[in-house]
DNA sequence: TTGTAGGCGTTATCAT
DNA sequence: ATGATAACGCCTACAA
């Protein structure tokens, strides 16, 4: 905080646009233009400005710029948690697209608590973000009202909400769970269990349960919500424990559908420790299409979600909205794909198959 | 953009501090104080202001606030990638601490490219972040100079740099790799292979290789950098492929140390597909202490890193720096712990052991 | 192509 | 306890 002015700005007050302008012999406005719209400035002036910037070590103050231009070039992103989560993959795809256009992400962790999400959204509005990215479609009423009243471009990720706040990109969680359960039914399994993560404040899990139940009813599978269905943390150890409990309750269970690949992996490992052979003694299917699924022994049948595509598409749509370009469809379904692998290859006694075939039903089905 | 003023702010120009002040019958400054320093305002006034805020739907403009107060309450965080990465865990712990103090994270993905990191840091400086969080200690010279010249509080995560930019929290990557290799040596293994991820612009991997080599020399293990060492992506499939190549080059290999649990898992699965028994035919150790390690069959020996603690400690130190509180030690070593499990339980012919014992050497060792 | 004037919405500072 | 005034550093709008 010394008073002496040295050109590098070290130890002195940071160089401002006025300093640059003075040194370049032009008006501050010209410096601003040279930076933002170089084509509106003569080559000669541009060089003088560039030289002055280099000499002063000038770094434009974007907060002043934001205040003046009413644009922060910032998107607020609410992500439940970064760990073990495909939510992080969605965000990564989203970030790729936005970064390329000069936007940065402001991060907020909601830990799946809508009230925390609401507080984060208020904070984002206070920071005047240009857009908002929300994971899932479970939000408080005030969150919805705030976003709509303030007309902030918003995109919801991973679900297909019937009443979107603004934009949404995702896939049918109902449809995917229905399709997996149907696959089991068609393979001849009658006793199909379901492991999901907690459904509280997580509409994706709710819809997956609904999809499972719909198929159970439609195909006349064993309908035993108490015995065959369990909710647990996204955690391998919890999956192992729940598998033991399941086998106690229903030793006759034939197949297990887990709405997460790590849960499926945990169940698979525990099944093997218990001496069961997968899929002969118990068939297992996962969800998410993580890399680990195809590397397990046996390889894991799963539902592949176009994770990065969803994030990227969301980024493109939000950019359109911000630029006030027309948005064709506010809710976009990017589908899913069932990847059949060894873990569900056979009903008891049938030969193993190694297939990467898929089906691609879309539709909301919610 | 209508001109009519309605109290909800819907469709009209957003309410500002002046609107609130007018409605409450006080000066704007008083509203500001009521919000920032409630104790400096009379209870009566506070209530009038609160009522006016509710009536107008006023949301303070933090960008104006930032410009005026020269504080953005924002930390810029450079994270190489969110996916499959303990870097995300560090960041999550860090974020917890900062969020509690009102700070938010601005995110930048460097993808392990120092030049990209530099561009992100410039952008952060332009946005006048109050502090910066960097993953690792591989940075361009300009990044260092920029940060030091601008005197921005900075913390480097995961390494123990000899020449820190400012603050750093991590553990000895050298020491951990050395300790694992030593463990193998003490168990009687002579032919120990190493899989790391790419060392280019990643000093953590470089140090892990160095730690391995130091132990190889010290304990007289088979020293064959060409044959026993490989660099690969953090990817199970790549690990499987590299294991096959390794077994072709060195069919006599006895143990494999992978500097990532997913790499270890990929190698383990492939070994099993090849009919090898772990640890009898090949012992395997991982790194990171991920949840999956203890659930594999056999359970995986690994190095547990205090991931969240590192993030939290980094957050606390950065907050101290920002508040200009004295920082006792600028570089903090939070250690590591070797978790011995079944995958390294025995040399050929020895009985299996199931142990959760650990050792906890600290020290830099770089 | 370049410059001038004024304001963006707060808060620091000094008064009262 | 409250208020008036002047920045904060840039950009919009308009003028030359």
pLDDT digits (tens, 9 = 90+) for A141-164: 999 999 999 999 999 999 999 999
Distance from CA of A82 to the nearest CA of B (A): 6
Rounded CA-CA distance A30/A40 in Å is 9
Distance from CA of B58 to the nearest CA of A (A): 9
Percent of chain B with pLDDT over 90: 89
**Token pair of A124 as six digits:** 């984002």
Rounded CA-CA distance B173/B185 in Å is 18
Chain A environment of B107 (Cβ under 8 Å): 77, 95, 104-107
Greatest distance between any 2 Cα atoms in chain A: 86
Superfamily of domain B69-171+307-335: Response regulator (3.40.50.2300)
Q: Which is more confidently placed, A351 or B155? A: B155
Rounded CA-CA distance A84/A288 in Å is 11
Task: Tell me if A67 and B67 make a contact (CB, 8 A cut-off).
Answer: yes
Residues in Cβ contact with A267 at an 8 Å cutoff, skipping those fewer than 6 apart: A195, A239, A240, A242, A243, A256, A258, A284
Chain A environment of B61 (Cβ under 8 Å): 67, 126, 128
Chain B environment of A236 (Cβ under 8 Å): 291-292, 295
Task: Tell me if A62 and B237 make a contact (CB, 8 A cut-off).
Answer: no
Sign, CA dihedral B25-B26-B28-B33, equals: negative
Q: What does the pLDDT look like over B254-281, one tens digit per residue?
A: 999 999 999 999 999 999 999 999 999 9
Percent of chain A with pLDDT over 70: 91
Least confident of A130-139, B3-12, B122-131: B3-12
HSE-up of residue B274 (Cα within 13 Å, Cβ side): 20
Cite the DSSP H helix spans in chain B.
17-24, 28-36, 43-56, 62-69, 86-100, 114-126, 141-149, 173-186, 203-218, 225-228, 236-249, 261-273, 307-322
Percent of chain B with pLDDT over 70: 91
Q: What does the pLDDT look like over A74-113, one tens digit per residue?
A: 999 999 998 877 999 999 999 999 999 999 999 999 999 9
How many CB pairs below 8 A link A and B? 141
Q: Which residues of chain A have pLDDT under 70?
A: 1-12, 346-366
Chain A environment of B81 (Cβ under 8 Å): 92
Task: Tell me if B63 and A92 make a contact (CB, 8 A cut-off).
Answer: no
Point out which residues pair with B196 in neighbouring strands: B231
Task: Tell me if B66 and A61 make a contact (CB, 8 A cut-off).
Answer: no
Q: What is the pLDDT of residue B12?
A: 62
Rounded CA-CA distance A82/B89 in Å is 7
Give the CA-to-C1' distance from A24 to C1 in angstroms: 16
Q: What is the pLDDT of residue B112?
A: 92
Q: Where in chain A is the domain with CATH 3.40.50.2300?
A: 69-171+307-335, 173-305+339-344
Q: Tell which of A12, A83, A290, A315 to mutate to test the B interface (max B CBs under 10 Å).
A: A83
Residues in chain A: 366
Nearest CB among A63, A107, A292 relative to B127 is that of: A63
- Helices A28-36 and A43-56 sit at what angle, rounded to 10 degrees? 100
Distance of CA A99 to the CA centre of its chain: 16
Q: What does the pLDDT look like over B303-358, one tens digit per residue?
A: 999 999 999 999 999 999 999 999 999 999 999 999 999 999 865 444 333 333 33
Residues in Cβ contact with B42 at an 8 Å cutoff, skipping those fewer than 6 apart: none
Residues in chain B: 366
Give the CA-to-C1' distance from A97 to D14 in angstroms: 36
Q: What is the pLDDT of residue B133?
A: 98
Least confident of B188-197, B295-304, B355-364: B355-364
Q: Tell which of B12, B64, B107 to mutate to test the A interface (max A CBs under 10 Å).
A: B107
Rounded CA-CA distance B205/B363 in Å is 18
Q: Which CATH class is domain A173-305+339-344?
A: alpha beta
Q: What is the pLDDT of residue B354?
A: 32
DSSP state of A301: B
Residues A153/A167, Cβ–Cβ less than 8 Å: yes
Rounded CA-CA distance B111/A128 in Å is 28
């Amino acid at each position: 905080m010394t008073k002496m002015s040295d050109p590098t700005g070290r130890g002195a007050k940071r160089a401002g646009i006025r300093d640059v302008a003075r040194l370049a012999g032009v008006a501050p406005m010209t410096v601003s233009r040279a930076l933002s719209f170089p084509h509106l400035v003569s080559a000669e002036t541009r060089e003088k400005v560039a030289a002055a910037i280099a000499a002063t070590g000038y770094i434009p103050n974007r907060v002043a710029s934001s205040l003046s231009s009413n644009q922060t070039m910032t998107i607020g992103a609410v992500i439940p948690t970064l760990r073990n989560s495909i939510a992080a993959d969605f965000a990564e795809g989203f970030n790729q697209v936005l970064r390329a256009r000069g936007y940065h992400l402001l991060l907020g962790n909601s830990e799946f608590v809508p009230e925390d999400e609401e507080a984060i959204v208020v904070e984002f509005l206070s920071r005047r973000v240009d857009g908002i990215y929300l994971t899932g479609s479970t939000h408080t009423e005030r969150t919805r009202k705030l976003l709509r009243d303030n007309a902030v471009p918003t995109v919801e990720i991973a679900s297909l909400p019937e009443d979107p706040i603004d934009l949404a990109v995702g896939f049918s969680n109902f449809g995917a769970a229905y399709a997996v359960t149907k696959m089991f039914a068609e393979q001849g399994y009658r006793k199909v269990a379901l492991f999901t993560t907690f459904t509280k404040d997580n509409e994706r899990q709710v819809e997956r349960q609904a999809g499972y139940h719909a198929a159970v009813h439609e195909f006349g599978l064993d309908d035993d919500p108490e015995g065959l269905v369990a909710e647990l943390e996204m955690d391998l150890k919890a999956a192992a424990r729940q598998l033991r409990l399941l086998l106690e309750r229903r030793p006759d269970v034939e197949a297990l559908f887990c709405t997460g690949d790590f849960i499926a992996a945990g169940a698979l490992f525990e099944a093997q420790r218990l001496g069961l052979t997968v899929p002969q003694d118990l068939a297992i299917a996962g969800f998410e299409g993580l890399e680990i699924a195809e590397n397990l022994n046996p390889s894991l049948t799963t539902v592949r979600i176009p994770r990065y595509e969803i994030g990227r598409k969301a980024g493109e749509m939000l950019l359109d909205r911000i630029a006030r370009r027309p948005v064709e469809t506010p809710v976009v379904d990017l589908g899913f794909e069932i990847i059949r692998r060894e873990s569900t290859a056979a009903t008891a006694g049938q030969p193993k198959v190694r297939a990467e075939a898929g089906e691609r039903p879309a539709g909301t089905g919610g």
